[in-house]
Amino acid sequence: MMNSNVMETSDANLVAESLTGNREAFGQIVARYQTLICSLAYSRTGSLTQSEDLAQETFIAAWRQLGGLREPDKLRSWLCGIARNHIYDAIKKRGREPSNAAEPLDTLHDSPTMEPLPADLTIQKEEEAILWRSIERIPEIYREPLVLFYREHQSIEAVAKNLELTEDAVKQRLSRGRKLLHEQVLAFVEGALERTNPGKAFTLVVLAALPSLTFSAKAAAVGAAAANGSSMAKAAGVAGLFAIICNPLIVLFGNFIPYRMALAAAHSDEERRRIKSFYARICALSVGLSLPLTAGIYWLFRNQPASHFGGGELFVTWFVTLVVVYLLAIFSFAIVGAGKRRAYYSRVLAEKYGGVFPKSAWEYRSKIKLLGLPLVHIRIGDRFDLLRTPVKAWIAVGNFAFGGLFAFGEVAVAPFSIGGLAVGLLPFGGIVAGIFPLGGLALGVWSFGAIAIGWQSIGAYAIAWSAAVGNFAVAHNFAIGGITHAMQANTDAARHFVDSNLFFRWIKVLEGHWFWMNALWIVPLFVQWRLIARSRRNQPVNS
């Protein structure tokens, strides 16, 4: 061991001796600052093994660069600068957050004092994981003094000197650090105990073991998730099964109604032929593209755990892909074919109606106006909607609707809008864009949909900058899901952020009422369909 003279010799003298090639003098520098450098590295990496490796690299680099030290009295600051550069490079090279780097000590080499660690003081793998788990979320400004304090034999003076702080500043940071450490340890213990508590999944597994019941463990877990807030496991399982079966059926039925509406509004065999041909091409294209796209996604993630890509997940992937391709295809075809449709209906309008627009199946326009806009304007079953001006009102309903407050239609634009293509503050429908979009393809700030893209998003495919939650979740900061990519992916930090975020908590509430959310657009569509069909029955054929 180094004797007391190690601390009596000044840094400047040790640097001068080291520059002459005196390795013993440099050894005294290492002995003096090894705790500081190792502590800085550990505070950033969470790995004792890696922290000592980085400290060794720091001292080796310092030996090579010693001739460039212009102010030997500032040796401590110079060493810290080299150490921080090495730490930053190591973290950047790993390409992940330091909180994911905690490693076991099974292969930990001898301590820098070259004295073997006593068996009763050896930190085992589990202990290191718990250690870093407890301090990783403490901000670095408090974590560094805390680590140094206990490594410097609880000397505030030594910590203040090493970090070039006043003793009062160190005391304040230690006080705050201890408080945060206490909170983190308490939260960790409470969370661990809560997660190990047998819950609804356990109940269902026990029931599954009884004669005449054949639930699998996976089905039990699904049932327990669906049963959140329910007192009856059986009812939860039924509810989960109902949701799994009904949600796709609701989506399919909701997209079938526009097809029936178009046929009901047709006034000739040629129109019906055009409509059937249009939807047949859309369906063929959707199925034809969704299958290879799903196969491609499966191939890209073939190395993921089977639990992330089982039969159920594969079906969800295909179904979501099918719906999104269908929505994109129908609007793409509509845009591309808009010119031909306009020319066709212009000819029909001129030949059969003398250029005068006939009545729609049902229309209401309120006499009350506010700022020049009708309070309510509803136009249903207008086959010449492509040629007419859009419906404009505070509450607007039509194929092309622009509302001051609310709009419903094939294309709907309003603060609150529902439609195949909806734009607004809170749009809901097929393809949606806005502040809080909810739909098949959702683009916005806080997005929820089959494919959701935004600042924060949740969906089967979720892409975001801040946080994403979904079967496939990609984000810059936080991601939670089956297959994820983010700086914090499926970590406690990510889960804590999502659980405490108002947007994700709001979406959890909405998910419990998804059936009624779908009713907001399916029921009005169904009513429109029946109004159009009834109107056509009261008109002569081919009129």
Angle between the N-to-C axes of helices 23-45 and 140-151, in degrees from 0 to 180, rounded to the nearest 10: 130
307 and 411 inside one domain: no
- Quote the CA–CA distance of 274 and 270 in Å, as a whole number: 6
Token readout for 317 is 């992937």
Residue 206 has a pLDDT of 41
402 and 441 inside one domain: yes
DSSP H/E element including 54: helix 48-65
- Quote the CA–CA distance of 85 and 77 in Å, as a whole number: 12
Residue 454 lies in a domain: yes
Residue 98 has a pLDDT of 45
Residue 398 has a pLDDT of 85
Per residue in 311-338, pLDDT tens? Answer: 556 666 777 777 777 777 777 777 777 7
Residue 407 lies in a domain: yes
Residue 246 lies in a domain: no
Judge whether residue 303 has pLDDT over 70: no
39 and 176 inside one domain: yes
Residue 281 lies in a domain: yes
397 and 295 inside one domain: no
Residue 197 lies in a domain: no
Q: What percent of the chain shows pLDDT beyond 70? A: 68
**pLDDT band (50, 70, 90) for residue 540:** low
**CATH code, domain carrying 116:** 1.10.1740.10
163 and 17 inside one domain: yes
Range with the poorest average pLDDT among 149-163, 212-226, 382-396, 516-530: 212-226
130 and 78 inside one domain: yes
Residue 423 has a pLDDT of 93
Average pLDDT over residues 291-315: 65
Residue 396 DSSP SS3: strand
390 and 522 inside one domain: yes
Where a domain ends, among 192, 211, 227? 192
Residue 301 lies in a domain: yes
309 and 376 inside one domain: no
- Quote the CA–CA distance of 379 and 522 in Å, as a whole number: 17
Residue 203 has a pLDDT of 41
Range with the poorest average pLDDT among 52-61, 264-273, 361-370, 465-474: 264-273
Per residue in 161-202, pLDDT tens? Answer: 777 788 888 788 878 877 777 766 666 655 554 554 444 444
99 and 181 inside one domain: yes
Residue 520 has a pLDDT of 74
Residue 507 lies in a domain: yes
Task: Give the DSSP letter string of 321-387.
Answer: HHHHHHHHHHHHHHHHTHHHHHHHHHHHHHHHHTTPPPPPSEEEE-S-EETTEESEEEEE--TTTTT
C-alpha distances in Å from residue 452, one per residue of 216, 247, 424, 435: 31, 18, 16, 12
Highest-pLDDT range among 74-78, 107-111, 315-319, 434-438: 434-438
Residue 355 lies in a domain: no
**pLDDT band (50, 70, 90) for residue 111:** very low
382 and 457 inside one domain: yes
465 and 377 inside one domain: yes
Where a domain ends, among 168, 192, 216? 192
- Split into its structural domains, the chain has a count of 3
- Quote the CA–CA distance of 522 and 516 in Å, as a whole number: 10
Q: Calculate Rg over the CA atoms of the chain.
A: 34
Characterise 41 by phi-psi region: left (phi > 0), alpha (psi -120 to 50), beta (else): alpha
Where a domain ends, among 277, 301, 336? 336
41 and 128 inside one domain: yes
Number of Cβ within 10 Å of residue 543's Cβ equals 10
When comparing pLDDT for 112 and 352, which is higher?
352
Domain carrying residue 384: 362-535
**pLDDT band (50, 70, 90) for residue 212:** very low
Return the closest-CA partner of residue 337 out of 264, 281, 390.
281
Per residue in 28-46, pLDDT tens? Answer: 888 888 888 888 888 778 7
